[in-house]
Structure 1
Amino acid sequence: MNTLAATLLLLHPAQCLRFRRGSFGDLVPIATTMAKNLMNPLSIKVDCFEVAESEGQRIGWGQLRPLGPAAADPDDFDAAPGSRGADDVDAAWDALPDPPTGFASLPWTDEYKAFARGADERRRGRDAASADAPQLWELASVFVLEEHRHRGTGAAIVRRLLERHAARGLSAADIYLLTLASTAGWYEGLGFEQVSEPRDVPEPMAFEVAAGRVVTGLIGAELVVMRGVETT
């Protein structure tokens, strides 16, 4: 029995789950729910989603989306993952605009959207130049409706995404995520560890980390970066 099947056996007996890949019809409902819960509704790639349903209703989801090329210049031993070298790292931070502050930092505001568009445009330009390089990935948008929590649904979604990733011959060590310090333990149980050094944070996540820390600062929380641990 694989880990996903074992997880499903631990779900609440009254909850019969069905899993499927994300589709275009999921875009608006997922983005709306995430915005209402102060989660970033941008950078949603529905084809990267795993969606859990119960009795025909969408109750949870998560996505594993590409971040960009993984390789750094081997001569730059302290370059951040996803950079092309030390010069690229310096340029990334020099180009980082001032993130919006206060209520303007909430994900649905025009200021935040403009900030995110700048990050995405820069990421697309970099990715086009390195299309054949190995990829970094981000586990994001993991969410379960409140009335369906504490039944193993979120863990089942994450494990399903990880198993899909492994089936493609890809490494868990190339997967990163952002979460609150208060939920880091949950992800540790799913095979992730905290990234302690700033230089180990992928360069493609620099904008997202900066914006996320502004938002979490408003609610007195701490944002942490985590990385998958390769199992043997």
Structure 2
Amino acid sequence: MPDALESLVTTISEERAANTSAATRFSREDSQPSIASEFERQVRLYAERVAVADAQSALTYRNLNALANRIAHAVLARRGAGPEPVALLVGNGVRVAAAMLGVLKAGKFYVSLDVSQPQARTATILADCRPALLIVDNERLQQAVAMRNGLDPPGIPLLNLDAPEAGLSAENPALPIAGDALAYVVYTSGSTGKPKGAMQDHRYVLHLTNPRSEVAAGSPAPPLMPSPPRAPVLCFL
């Protein structure tokens, strides 16, 4: 799991566990809510607690939720509802966590691009997953433009976090997102050295980070590679 989301979801799970009887065990049905809805539950409980921090700044659950919601509404304004991949080319820090949550709240799934990797590898991943949108910041804007123009066909739409739109709502989009909906695709080198995508859904991520879930307790886990959504079709070669 990408580090920023893993850290945030693990914190959510620990706080959830701290407020639950030690004798309680969560079944699969308890983890059916999405990452977004579970995060929003924590916002209601711990609005003023720090949710995520980096060397420059920190965001409370309330503020992180508001930022993620604005990103979600920006994504929805461009793409509408429905599952599809959204690529992230954003530096490490609080905004990458907000971008991940924003994509999930919009009912999409994200492909996080490693800015430390060679540009050729990143371009290969983009060509493979064919994202419907590429979220960037000013620092990586030129790199993103060069990569998208090199694709066939070119022209992935960009959403720049450093150029926010006015009037975007900070309210939860409140979209229905199933536990088995795809949450993200992470690329590994694969046996041939060519990037290969592995998929994870919301349910598995919540089980994986919940110390009292059936998965954590050692019972059979949900599939590591759930079936891809009907649209768009991802090609993993």
> Does TM, normalized by the shorter one, top 0.5?
no
Higher helix share: 1
TM-score by length of structure 2 reads: 0.27
Bigger strand fraction: 1
The TM-score normalised by the length of structure 1 is: 0.27
